[in-house]
């Protein structure tokens, strides 16, 4: 099974999660959605992951889903979100309902916040809204493996 893992990440958190997923799979191409994307047709399995900002996934992820929606319905698909507060609303807001129904795996992975990598505004919002000031990372191998196992099953 050839897998393409695509991620949309602002401060590197989602990239880290995508790398951890890739480490648990064989035959993987890992790719940043804000860069060049390989021909998706050549892959059996496509994973799309994005961080959530104010309940929205990143625009490059939205653009990819809109452009390749029909192709994705012919593939084994995994979706993951990265954020600090899980909310079921994020799925309905950002993904077509058929895609959610068809996906082999759809998981909220938790989030990563590194004040050293974030800009002033992001640090401000995290401090005031998220009550998070220091390094935060609640990603664990259990979540990663659960996602990968669903995708493979
Ligand atoms: C300005 C701002 C808004 C955010 N909004 C949300 C949100 O609505 N829901 C959520 O769960 N996490 C939210 N987060 C947390 C990020 O999604 C989380 O830290 C994520 O892992 C960052 O991934 P990235 O570095 O790949 O962009 C927000 C963070 C910032 C800085």
* Protein residue with least CA distance to atom 12, ligand 1: 83
50 Cβ inside 6 Å of ligand 1: no
Q: Are residues 125 and 53 in contact, defined by beta-carbon separation less than 8 angstroms? A: no
Q: Got the DSSP string for 100-137?
A: HHH-SEEEE---EE-TTTS-HHHHHHHHHTS---S-EE
**What are the structural domain ranges in the chain?**
3-152
- Torsions phi, psi for 72 (to 5 deg): -60, -30
User: What pLDDT is stored for residue 14 in this prediction?
Assistant: 98
Decide if domain 3-152 falls under CATH 3.40.50.360.
yes
10 Cβ inside 6 Å of ligand 1: yes
Atom nearest to 118 CA in ligand 1:
31
User: What pLDDT is stored for residue 20 in this prediction?
Assistant: 98
Contacts of 140 (CB under 8 A, 6+ apart): 110
User: What pLDDT is stored for residue 121 in this prediction?
Assistant: 95
Low-confidence ranges of the chain (pLDDT < 50): none
How far is 91 from 86, CA to CA, in rounded Å? 10
- Torsions phi, psi for 102 (to 5 deg): -80, -25
Instruction: Select from 6, 30, 83, 89 the residue to mutate for testing ligand 1; criterion: most ligand atoms less than 8 Å from CB.
Output: 83
User: What pLDDT is stored for residue 104 in this prediction?
Assistant: 98
User: What pLDDT is stored for residue 82 in this prediction?
Assistant: 98
Atom nearest to 112 CA in ligand 1:
21
């Amino acid at each position: 099974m050839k897998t393409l893992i695509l991620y949309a990440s602002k401060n590197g958190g989602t990239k880290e999660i995508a790398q951890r997923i890739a480490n648990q799979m064989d035959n993987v191409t890992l790719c940043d959605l804000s860069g060049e994307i390989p021909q998706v047709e050549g892959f059996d399995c496509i994973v799309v992951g994005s961080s959530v900002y104010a309940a929205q996934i990143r625009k490059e992820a939205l653009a990819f889903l809109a452009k390749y929606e029909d192709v994705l319905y012919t593939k084994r698909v995994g979706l993951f979100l990265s954020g600090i507060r899980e909310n079921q609303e994020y799925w309905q807001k950002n993904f077509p309902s058929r895609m959610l129904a068809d996906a082999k795996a759809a998981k909220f992975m938790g989030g990563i916040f590194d004040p050293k990598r974030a800009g002033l505004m992001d640090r401000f919002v995290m401090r005031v809204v998220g009550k998070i000031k220091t390094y935060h990372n609640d990603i664990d191998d259990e979540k990663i493996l659960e996602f990968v196992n669903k995708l493979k099953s």
